[in-house]
Amino acid sequence: MPDAMIRRSMLFFTLLVHFARGQVSYSIPEEISKGSMVGNIAQDLGLDLQRLKSGKARIYTRDSTEYIELNRNTGLLLIREKMDRESLCAKTTPCALHLQMILENPMEFYTITIEIMDINDNAPSFQKKDFSFEISESAVAGAGFMLGGAFDADVGTNDLQSYSLKPADKFQLELHSQADGSKNVEMILEKPLDRETQSSFTLLLEAFDGGDPVLSGTVQIHITVLDINDNAPVFTQKVYKTTITENAPKGTVLTVVSASDADEGSNSVVTYYISDTVNKNVADMFLINEKSGELILNGHIDYERVNHYELNIQGKDQGGLSNACKVIIDVLDINDNSPNINIVSSSHSVSEGSKSGTVISVLNVDDLDSGSNGQVQCVLNDDMSFSITSPSSNFFSLQTEQELDREREAEYNITVICTDEGVPALSSNVSLRVQITDVNDNAPVFEKSHYEAYVLENNTPGLSIFTVKASDADWNQNARVSYILEDSTVNGVYVSSYVSVQPDSGLITAVRSFDYEQLKDFHFRVKAQDGGSPPLSSNVTVKITIKDQNDNAPQVLYPVQTGASVVAEIVPRAAEVGYLVTKVVAVDVDSGQNAWLSYKLQKATDRALFEVGLQNGEIRTVRQVTDKDAFKQKLTVVVEDNGQPSRSAVVSINVAVADSFPEVLSEFTDFTHKKQYDENLTFYLVLALAAVSFLFITSVVVIISVKIYRWRQSRFLYQSNLPVIPYYPPHYADTGVTGTLPHGYNYEVCMTTDSRKSDCKFSTLGGQNVLMVDPSFAETMQHTIKKNSGLQNEHSTSQKPPNADWRFPPNQRPGPSGAGAHPDEAGASAGVIAGTRPWPNPPTEAEQFQAMMVAANVSEATATLGPRYNPQYGPDYRQNVFIPGSTATLMANPQQQVPQQALPPPQALPPVEAPKAAQTPASKKKPTKKDKK
């Protein structure tokens, strides 16, 4: 069809919308393009767009082809497929689509009727390409010749309206209306024909419809003039009527038509045939006996498809004269179709808490039969928990009749039986399986009304006492029972500090060791709670009877106290009021009130600067830190329990008021940084490296030379007790050095001339606000030396840079190798400076040095070593032993002298607090650049 015609039809089509109990109707022209709007269903039904989305609105149609679709976002009905009214409805008027819109949650449905308006898209057409007639010249004026009408698929004004015949000098047309509204055309002879004048001729028949523009179809009529046949056949009835049931078998005789001809001979013999004006599909359903006129059924008739037929029967004699009659056949319906059940929407599960009347499923039931044969009623099997109702024609709702109980029945198999009212009645059924989802309507129930258990005193924490058990009649998560210890107190202490309940098993365990003198028995309640929403619970009383006691003073867990060092906390100078400095953590193994701890500040360098939380042990600032506050603050905190009498513990904490860790490190180690950097720093570093390398090589050469010299001298001396020159490994300095470390133990810092522009960051091995320092806050730092036997030296593989001023005072001279504290005992507890390594310990060389000195028991040895070991120190050869690789001096302690001839085995000495030693001339020397490294 031309686009102009479609646009013109679109301009004039009228959209009719009316509401009646959830119904809406629209009218649209056929052949409109895909995607065109039919109407706004949301607006017309007064529905919210959100309702369309939440209800999962959809269009339901029984047809296989879906011509209409719903846009949930806009609420518009749109054309999904182009519709041809002639294909859908043929000649039926009005032509309409009947749809249903289904909504869920809650379930609703609306009836939508869309009427399809006809447009003039079909021209009239004839079933035959041409007509041929043999007309006797004796045919009188008024003789009729049935042509059969043209067919136009359109309806209404667009249907066939008129005919024209060209030329019209011998014949005229006469229209005959049929019961179905169609029109047949008959050609009437106006004046006799003369075969001698014209034996044959051709006419043009044209059919017109009433559309705009008018469409037409043509067919040619060929006429042959015959000689003499004066009478045409005449039927006994102009119209024959008969009926037949739709289940009639093939070959059934419907009726007999009869016609007579007044002529004689062959001209009186009438032959019967079905007119070409009948639709070919209809004509194929029937046969007619050409001689007898019997009309016979040739196919299967279905009332649901076509219930009325009209046939034109032609009677023709041998002379070519013919006449026609009409046969009307009415089909009688029988109950041959059982109801057809379609599940429009169904819920496979329903909550047991659903109210009565909750819709579970919507069914569409139709029966193709008519009358009472098409009336359907639906019932359920013998299940009183559900019912079925019909809210509208052909629709049934399955809904709950009463409240459901999953614990009584967890699943239903519902059979819906639909029966028509025919005789005999036909029925169909469909089974629906509905699971009842659980609702948390049952609380857990304990096996006992109360529980009682006995626990011996001094039990191990974590001891399993007994198990409580509860069950829940619900299912799945709603039946999953968790056990909870209800909040309660025993002697003012939460019961959770005495016992605990495992949530899954209900096992009750002791959290602590019970004390009979403090607590003889106590009660608590255990709650069993299911996993439903909201959860349901029940509780039971449990009595625990105890039997014994042991008192203990509080124990400080943090900070750890040692004899060599304490914890130092860093407080920035910008700290606000309430700044958390540290927290004292203590425990008391007693129970009840004896385990309640409180914290008090006993001593402080500045009491107005810090306070301790009474219950939590948190040390916080009371006021803002000022520049006047001392850099080093010392606090003493008392941890006291609530027993009678109370027991307490004391902890000391050092606090450094500083803004950065390097600042604290510098303060506690006397490590100073140059504020100004030399412009030629790189040059001096290279120069220093060259000087150290030169000194190292020179020292090695000198030592080797002296060694060779001494060895050669020994060959000329007698083999008695000769003085032995001590051996100095290449990496250990003699006592004559000036404090500069050998090259092997120098830590060099490589910087560039731009290093002054950046900060030098020190790595920490712990929290940045904790520093392990000497408890006396001395200006120098103590380095713990690991002195184990030679077999244990592999544990100390790393080293630290030595301090040029490090030394022991005379009363703390170390013993033989291995006598010092183990790093795990001294270093770990006393603490080391963060970012350094353990001090190297060459015990083998030191012991060798001692053994050599013992062996050198001659006057020459005394004379040789005289300048180094002065007489005022007595015969102790270890009086002035220097630590290899360092300028530090191990001074003598008269109380710890050991005879030269019998060295005791190495023994560990307890750590002794080292007082600040007096400076020796070597230590008073001004530090060089390498010393400061």
Any idea where the domains of the chain sit in the sequence? Answer: 3-117, 123-228, 230-333, 340-437, 445-547, 555-659, 684-932
Residues with Cβ within 8 Å of residue 68, at least 6 apart in sequence: 38, 59, 61, 77, 78, 79, 80, 97, 99, 112, 114
Mean of per-residue pLDDT scores for the chain: 75
**The one-letter amino acid at 533:** S
For β-strands 294-297 and 308-316, DSSP reports them as unpaired
For β-strands 537-547 and 450-456, DSSP reports them as parallel
pLDDT recorded at residue 155: 85
Q: What is the pLDDT of residues 866-915, one digit of tens each?
A: 333 333 333 343 334 334 443 443 443 433 333 333 334 434 334 434 33
Q: What is the pLDDT of residues 327-348, one digit of tens each?
A: 999 999 888 889 999 998 888 8
Q: The tokens 């098993």 sit on which residue?
A: 505
Quote the tokens at residue 698: 């020179």
Note the pTM of the prediction, 2 decimals. 0.41
pLDDT recorded at residue 520: 84
Q: How many CA atoms lie within 13 A of 258 on its CB side?
A: 3
- CATH top-level class for 340-437? mainly beta
pLDDT recorded at residue 813: 40
pLDDT recorded at residue 712: 85
Contact status, residue 784 vs residue 914, Cβ threshold 8 Å = no
Give 77-115 as a 3 state SS string: EEECCCCCHHHHHCCCCCCEEEEEEEECCCCEEEEEEEE
Q: How many CA atoms lie within 13 A of 429 on its CB side?
A: 10
Fold classification of 445-547 is Immunoglobulin-like (2.60.40)
Fold classification of 230-333 is Immunoglobulin-like (2.60.40)
CATH number of 3-117: 2.60.40.60
Does this chain's domain 3-117 share its CATH topology with 123-228? yes
Regions of the chain where pLDDT drops below 70: 1-21, 64, 180-181, 227, 548-551, 562-567, 663-680, 715-933
Fold classification of 555-659 is Immunoglobulin-like (2.60.40)
**The one-letter amino acid at 436:** I
pLDDT recorded at residue 551: 61
Contact status, residue 562 vs residue 599, Cβ threshold 8 Å = no
Contact status, residue 148 vs residue 126, Cβ threshold 8 Å = yes
pLDDT recorded at residue 181: 67
Burial class (CB in 10 A: 0-12, 13-18, 19+), 542: buried
Quote the tokens at residue 379: 């019932």
**Could you name the CATH architecture of 123-228?**
Sandwich (2.60)
